[in-house]
Chains A and B, each alone.
Chain A
Amino acid sequence: MISVQHVTTSYGRTVVVDDVSLTIADGGVTALVGPNGAGKSTLLKVIARLLQADAGVVTVADLDVARTAPEVLARRLAVLAQDTQVPVRLTVRDLVTFGRFPHTRGRPTAEDHALVEEAMAHLDITDLADRYLDEISGGQRQRAFIAMVFAQDTDHLLLDEPLNNLDMRHGAQLMQIVRDAADRRGTSIVLVVHDINAASVFADHIIALKDGRVVTQGPPQEVMVEDVLESVFDVPVRVVEVDGYRHAIHLSGRLARPRTG
């Protein structure tokens, strides 16, 4: 379980996360959604101890993230931040193998190598294994980093906008992989997504933030409602159902004045 209690974070004078308290139960996929500047990524970074909160306590699996030794936490919690720029010449396999570092401290066994190969196969990057990270595309690099956190094999996984840089096919593939990890391995996954429809289709639970506060949360059926989404994003929204999943359409100008006839 992830527990966030009265967490406040600010950059300079701007309060980005404003006294947020929430709990995220074990298992399943939770999506953090909200407009730009809502504090989603900041909150995710605080949970992942990449950022120190000004106030409040975060625990993951009963470990206080601010006080637990980094290597202990790294075996329970993996996080992928948005920035995947690498100025150093490493191969894809090198990077994914570092996912095993928290477990091996640099001495990977045959079992670790097998997990690395499996993670690369999962993310469809086996044929890139020996390429350098600066020679492949942004989307391929993104998948290499995701393979790294999968190889880390933790029970909690946090992803900050994992769909960035990915085309439609790889985006859908990734969401399917995330779904599988939650369903088959029982990994608890929290992700920040901009694509609210991806959240609707793949998440079990959606938490909507705005101005650093939690506005609403619940299963997709409860959050994917026109007036709820309009109050979160400040834009006119139509919700339609396709194949049993709710999708939001937000072509604001047209929707504000529906065509007649």
Chain B
Amino acid sequence: MSVSAPARTPATTGRAPRRAWLIVAIVGLVLLTAASVMVGVADQDWQILTTSRLPRTAAVMLAGASLAVAGLIMQLLTRNPFVEPATAGTMEFAGLGLVLVMLTLPGAPIWLRMLAGTAAALAGSAVFLRLISRLSRGDILGVPLVGLVLGGVVGAASTFLAYRNDLVQSLNAWLTGDFSAVISGRYELLWLSGVATVVAVVVADRFTIASLGHEVATNLGLDHRRAMALGMTIVSVISASTVVTVGMLPFIGLVVPNLVTRIVGGHARRALPWVLVLGAGATLLCDLVARTLRYPYELPIGLVVGVAGGLVFLVMLLRGFDRAH
């Protein structure tokens, strides 16, 4: 980790080992995937595999990879290393959208709920961006603080509405990430996250350029506002589909992109393969731990992610965050 600033080896010699490490990471991911498919209480048979194990593994990977990507996009667009869907209120807004649609249209189909969640997340992103535009530019910690407060207020509003209307159970399911209920037919919305992630990979350069600020981006012929809108839409789709299907997962979007940009830099096109692999891998690992620690019982993955992510993040903070950004 580059805490001090040593002279770097030229890219021509530095890139080959970097690629080798990425291959190592991908092999690790494949092994984790295999483990995830094989671990479980029931005996291995075809039906268990297709209705439970594979969907769960896919859900974990999709959620982990896309949340990590959402974190990277938000960090680039807000030019702040501490912003992710869980620290900017985006997840809470998605939850509020879900509560509201369940109150007004109790029998709403899942796609409508998803739409409401996405719209609310998008509105929340706009509010968040408006609020942080008033902070002074050097205020790195003010930005996530505003996001956390915003998320707290919105989350409290959701909880209030849920208590009044007997929706606490649903709300809890959205607030705590949990993959134990994932079976075939109940997680497919997460593929929307996957689609949003693919879009993000295709337009990655725009987010890197947007991170250079409005003036440099305009100079390079980028419509800065449109890039912001596109990025925030992708983030909102990812947040809403995650909250709807498996619930909130904090820290993935914070720790993974920060770790990656420290090692390979913040050029989105270069960082994204790493972010995808590490996002999926870290979430798979946490899910495996959650499933095996008290075998045959499960811990909520939110707990594992919270402890592990919190610890890793703490170490990164103590090792000098400001050097990395």
Is the pair B221, A73 in contact by a Cβ cutoff of 8 Å?
yes
For A89, give its contact among B219, B222, B261 (CB under 8 Å). Answer: B261
Q: Is B125 an interface residue (CB 8 A)?
A: no
Interface size on A, residues (CB 8 A): 40
For B79, give its contact among A87, A95, A101, A145 (CB under 8 Å). Answer: A87
Q: Which residues of B contact A99 (CB under 8 A)?
A: 220
Q: Is A130 an interface residue (CB 8 A)?
A: yes
Residue of B nearest to A102 (CB): B221
For B222, give its contact among A70, A93, A129, A132 (CB under 8 Å). Answer: A70
Q: Which residues of B contact A118 (CB under 8 A)?
A: none
For B218, give its contact among A50, A75, A106, A129 (CB under 8 Å). Answer: A50
Looking at B8-16, B113-121, B156-164, B179-187, the stretch in contact with chain A turns out to be B8-16
Is the pair A70, B223 in contact by a Cβ cutoff of 8 Å?
yes
Distance between B6 CB and nearest chain A CB, rounded to angstroms? 9
Q: Which residues of A contact B14 (CB under 8 A)?
A: 130
Given contacts A93-B11, A106-B205, A130-B10, A88 and B212 within 8 Å (CB-CB): yes
Q: Which residues of B contact A135 (CB under 8 A)?
A: 2, 5
Is the pair B209, A101 in contact by a Cβ cutoff of 8 Å?
yes
Q: Is B211 an interface residue (CB 8 A)?
A: yes
Bound-complex Cα distance A93 to B10 (A): 11
Q: Is B216 an interface residue (CB 8 A)?
A: yes
Q: Which residues of B contact A106 (CB under 8 A)?
A: 205, 269
For B215, give its contact among A73, A74, A83, A130 (CB under 8 Å). Answer: A83
Is the pair A102, B79 in contact by a Cβ cutoff of 8 Å?
no
Is the pair B213, A89 in contact by a Cβ cutoff of 8 Å?
no
Residue of B nearest to A91 (CB): B265
Residues of A whose CB lies within 8 Å of any CB of B are 45, 48-50, 70-75, 78-81, 83, 85-91, 93-95, 98-99, 101-102, 105-106, 129-132, 134-135, 145, 149, 152
Bound-complex Cα distance A34 to B80 (A): 36
Residue of B nearest to A73 (CB): B221
Given contacts A74-B221, A130-B8, A131-B8, A90 and B216 within 8 Å (CB-CB): no
Bound-complex Cα distance A138 to B211 (A): 19
Identify which of residues 68-111 in chain B touch chain A, using a CB-to-CB cut-off of 8 Å. 76, 79-81
Q: Which residues of B contact A72 (CB under 8 A)?
A: 221
Q: Is B324 an interface residue (CB 8 A)?
A: yes
Given contacts A79-B219, A130-B14, A88 and B266 within 8 Å (CB-CB): yes
Is the pair A90, B267 in contact by a Cβ cutoff of 8 Å?
yes
Q: Which residues of B contact A80 (CB under 8 A)?
A: 219
Bound-complex Cα distance A81 to B213 (A): 11
Bound-complex Cα distance A48 to B220 (A): 11
Bound-complex Cα distance A90 to B271 (A): 11
Residue of A nearest to B323 (CB): A134
Is the pair B221, A75 in contact by a Cβ cutoff of 8 Å?
yes
18 A-B contact pairs sorted by A residue (CB < 8 Å): A50-B219, A70-B218, A74-B219, A74-B221, A79-B215, A80-B219, A87-B79, A87-B81, A88-B79, A89-B266, A90-B266, A91-B11, A98-B209, A98-B220, A101-B222, A105-B205, A106-B269, A134-B325
Bound-complex Cα distance A85 to B212 (A): 8
Distance between A60 CB and nearest chain B CB, rounded to angstroms? 13
Using A90-B265, A132-B8, A135-B5 as known contacts, list a sample of 17 further A-B pairs with CB atoms less than 8 Å apart, ordered by residue number in A: A48-B219, A49-B218, A50-B218, A73-B221, A74-B219, A74-B220, A87-B211, A88-B325, A89-B261, A89-B266, A89-B325, A90-B267, A91-B11, A94-B208, A94-B267, A101-B221, A130-B8
Q: Which residues of B contact A79 (CB under 8 A)?
A: 215, 219
Bound-complex Cα distance A49 to B267 (A): 26
Residue of B nearest to A100 (CB): B220
Bound-complex Cα distance A91 to B9 (A): 12
Residue of A nearest to B271 (CB): A89
Q: Which residues of B contact A73 (CB under 8 A)?
A: 221
Chain B 210-245 near chain A by CB (<8 Å), digits 1 or 0:
011111101111110000000000000000000000
Bound-complex Cα distance A251 to B21 (A): 61
Identify which of residues 129-143 in chain B touch chain A, using a CB-to-CB cut-off of 8 Å. 137
Give the one of A49, A74, A78, A89 with max B CB within 10 A: A89
For B324, give its contact among A45, A71, A74, A89 (CB under 8 Å). Answer: A89
